[in-house]
Structure 1
Amino acid sequence: MTQSLSSPSRQGDLPIVRAAKSPDAVQIAEIYGYHVREGRASFELTPPDRTEIAGRIEAVQSAGLPYLVADGGDELLGFAYAGPYRLRPAYRFVVEDSVYVTAEAQGRGLGRILLQAVIDEATAAGRRQMIAVIGDSANAASIRLHRTLGFTEIGRLRSVGWKHDLWLDSVFMQRALGPGDSRPPDR
């Protein structure tokens, strides 16, 4: 499902996928905070507050990259974005994705809708590669989601995160955007 940031769309009972706005920071902080506290996908240990989240939204969007939410009408059901992979200039055509949905919305295909929209928007923004850094090699749902959308595993960092009294791996996955590396980037 391809959606433009300028024209949010709804498909059947599915939520509207649209660009995040500053007031969304409250609900995004709640969604992400749950995953920070309870899960192993994020290696953050303390959930960021809404002010920090608002700053993150602004930074991503100011870089011309997508920060999207799944708006269910009464509440946000998830969010996804593509941020810079690394800050050194040679990496400027590479982004890293993040996708989080509420516990109640998991398993309904919402992560796939959000990630596909982020892929589409990052491609439209001229990016050429997308990297997924998946916390916890046991995170089968995220690995499967990324594989379904064309990512391939390119490596694992073993035991690089200590959270919930466990050593956790990071799984790296990658996919080309647009023409990928088949031709030089547009300047």
Structure 2
Amino acid sequence: MMIRSATAADLAAVAAIYAHYVATSVATFDEVAPEAAFWSGRLRELDERGLPFLVAEEEGEVAGYALASQWRPKPAYRHTVEDSIYLAPGRTGRGLGRALLGELLPRCAKGGIRQVVAVIADTGEPGSAALHRAFGFEAAGRLKGVGFKLGRWVDTELMQLDLTR
């Protein structure tokens, strides 16, 4: 496995991974998968802001990705990001998420980021929250019933990591 910065050549695989979660889960509240142009713009935007967009490559294929995007659009939030990690179907439970987050956080710190927020849909599956806790994220709150997808209301758990400690 290799963790590296995403390139334009990776975006079709990234789009396919994300589309899987859009169609089958509440891990994202998107209901329609974004088109390829969205991912090109996202890569460009994050690069311009100096924020990491990483892929995990296994056997020459993109097996997952992680990125950090600005938490909120107002300028005062510029030192706070939200992390996103998605793994290809069939590639979970093998340490890819840990490897991606383990590379994402130091790159955020190096880029002047102070706070990282994780917004985790409460799916009843503890994996994402456990991964974040393993890296020192702490519970910051719960938003109840804020998303409606796949016929049910979904809570989100907010977790936060202070990179200045």
Which bin holds the TM-score, normalised by the shorter protein? over 0.9
- Residue in structure 1 matching 2:105, options 99, 108, 119: 119
- Residue in structure 2 matching 1:84, options 60, 66, 70: 70
Unaligned runs of 5+ in 2: none
> What SS class does the counterpart of residue 42 from structure 1 fall into?
coil
Listed one character per residue, the Cα deviations across residues 4-57 of structure 1 (whole Å, up to 9, x for unaligned) are xxxxxxxxxxx1111000121100000111011111110000111222112111
Distance in 2 between residues matched to 1:155 and 1:137, nearest whole Å: 16
Distance in 2 between residues matched to 1:55 and 1:24, nearest whole Å: 13
Listed one character per residue, the Cα deviations across residues 83-120 of structure 1 (whole Å, up to 9, x for unaligned) are 10011111111111000001211000110110111101
- Residue in structure 2 matching 1:162, options 142, 148, 152: 148
- 2:21 match: 35
Q: Does residue 1:19 correspond to 2:5, yes or no?
A: yes
TM-score, structure 2 as length reference: 0.96
Distance in 2 between residues matched to 1:61 and 1:170, nearest whole Å: 28
> What SS class does the counterpart of residue 86 from structure 1 fall into?
coil
Which one has the bigger strand percentage?
2
Q: Does residue 1:173 correspond to 2:150, yes or no?
A: no
Percentage of pairs with the same residue? 39
Residue type at the aligned position of 1:119: L
Q: Does residue 1:51 correspond to 2:51, yes or no?
A: no
Runs of 4 or more consecutive aligned structure 1 residues displaced over 4 Å after TM superposition: none
Contact preservation (8 Å) 2:27, 2:123: no
- Figure out how many residues of one structure are paired with residues of the other and give that number: 165
Contact preservation (8 Å) 1:41, 1:139: no
TM-score, structure 1 as length reference: 0.85
Q: Does residue 1:147 correspond to 2:128, yes or no?
A: no
- Whichever of the two has the greater Rg, that structure is 1
